[in-house]
Amino acid sequence: MTASAATTPPPGATVPTLAGATITPGDLMRAGSYDMCFGCGTGHETGLRVQRTAFDEDVVLGHFLVTDQHQGAPGLAHGGLLATAMDEILGTAAWSLGKMAVTGRLETDFRAPVPVGSTLYLKAWCTGVEGRKIYLSGEGRLGDPDGPLAVQAAALFVEVPREHFTKER
């Protein structure tokens, strides 16, 4: 992955830990997802409907089925939607550390085309935390969790207070 300095943890960034977390992975699993989220909502008719299948302190796993609603070129997934899928799984990895966080920066490498009808298997993990900054990496593989590499991503998420989601704008 050709990650920039902005998404690479600086020397001295800590290895993430769940100590002091306000949200546990169990809470997150029970909370499910926001129904109308384009990434994971089951109420969103044309969304990606990413399913999160496992997460712990080290890694988060998920997958989604690429449908004809997700095309860019005929028969192939749109790159922007693949970036959205990576955003979703990277965000889940950030939240699974017990931190409410939003995407500050998202970088993607597209390694192989992703056909309609295929399942993209997603994986994300935290590479370091410094203050409010959470550094994450992820990948998407075709057809199987160990299948061919299709997408790689690196991101900087920034921890925010609850008011970020509730204040009127």
Ligand X SMILES: CCCCCCCCCCCCCC(=O)SCCNC(=O)CCNC(=O)[C@H](O)C(C)(C)COP(=O)(O)OP(=O)(O)OC[C@H]1O[C@@H](n2cnc3c(N)ncnc32)[C@H](O)[C@@H]1OP(=O)(O)O
Instruction: Enumerate binding residues for ligand X (CB under 6 A).
Output: 6, 28, 31, 33, 39, 87-88, 91-92, 95, 102-105, 131-133, 156, 158, 160
Q: Which residue is nearest to ligand X (CB)?
A: 91
Taking residue 43's Cβ as centre, other Cβ atoms within 10 Å add up to 11
Closest separation between CB of residue 156 and ligand X, Å? 5
At closest approach, how far in Å is the CB of 74 from ligand X?
A: 28
CB closer to ligand X, 46 vs 169: 169
The answer to whether 134 touches 126, Cβ cutoff 8 Å, is yes
Q: What type of residue is 3?
A: A
Annotation says 87 is catalytic: yes
In terms of CB distance, is 87 or 139 closer to ligand X?
A: 87
Q: Which residues contact 6 (CB under 8 A, 6 or more apart)?
A: 105, 156
CA distance 156 to 169: 24
The smaller minimum CB distance to ligand X, of residues 77 and 87, is found at 87
Which among 27, 56, 68, 87 is annotated as catalytic? 87
- Contact between 109 and 75 under an 8 Å Cβ cutoff? The reply is no
CB of 81 to ligand X, least distance (A): 13
Classified as helix, coil or strand, 41 is coil
Question: What amino acid positions are annotated as catalytic residues?
Answer: 87
